[in-house]
Amino acid sequence: MSMQKSFKEILFRSLFALIGVVILGLGAATLRIGQVGLDPYTSSNIALGNLLGLSLGVYQLLMNGFLLVLLVIFGRKYIGTGTVINMVGAGFFIDFFTKVMNTYQIEPNSWFSQLLFLSIGVLIFTFGASFYMAASVGTPAYDAIAPVIVDYTKLDYRFVRVSHDVGFSLIAYFFQGPVGVGTFISAFLMGPFIKFWDQKVSYPIIESSLKKESL
């Protein structure tokens, strides 16, 4: 019976992780359409995907597959069902919501509307990231890079995380990816937003839902 409950909990948490990835995709698409810059990883994937003639979804899936192989070798403890959900879904959801917005011609036409896209995109993106992580079923392949490096080198986590975010931002910049204010915010300032969503929304919703389901 306990194994069934454990499996059931993983299933529910994976569903919450999927919802988080969908929300994250909507937020990233909003930033993309607003032309205000995306997070370093997505920006670099768009840049290199364009260079190779691949969509974001396809290129990001390939990149995540490569990172997943490295995780299996060096950081297996960070892998879970959520890792796979993020690996497969994030890029394609961003592509999907971008296509929907383009179809309905949802786009900025002034600096003020760009500011709205930036604000709304950051809020949605960080909420999605928070909801995904609060599900606690695995770390996204990109986000696992820093803790794996820390495990092996004992370097400071913040230093490692900022370093690799800046590195991917530079890749995006040099290969003409969507780098902008949103990229800067993603690399340096998203932590407080995610922490707010964690405390006020994500963890309370997920944990209370799981408690109700277990009754």
Rounded Cα–Cα distance for residues 104 and 117 (Å): 15
Q: What is the pLDDT of residue 158?
A: 83
How is 11-74 classified by DSSP, letter by letter? HHHHHHHHHHHHHHHHHHHHHHHHTS---HHHHHHHHHHHHHT--HHHHHHHHHHHHHHHHHHH
**3 state SS of 155:** coil
In angstroms, what is the C-alpha Rg of the chain?
17
Q: What is the pLDDT of residue 3?
A: 46
The residue assigned the tokens 């919501």 is 97
Q: What is the pLDDT of residue 161?
A: 86
Query: Exposed/middle/buried for 203, CB within 10 Å: 0-12, 13-18, 19+?
Result: middle
Rounded Cα–Cα distance for residues 101 and 183 (Å): 20
- Pick out the chain residues at pLDDT < 70: 1-5, 214-215
The residue assigned the tokens 């961003």 is 94
Q: What is the pLDDT of residue 5?
A: 55
| Pair 39, 28: CB distance under 8 Å | yes
Q: What is the pLDDT of residue 181?
A: 92
Instruction: Read off the amino acid at residue 76.
Output: R
**3 state SS of 154:** coil
Rounded Cα–Cα distance for residues 122 and 47 (Å): 20
Rounded Cα–Cα distance for residues 28 and 23 (Å): 9
Rounded Cα–Cα distance for residues 160 and 147 (Å): 8
| Pair 181, 118: CB distance under 8 Å | yes
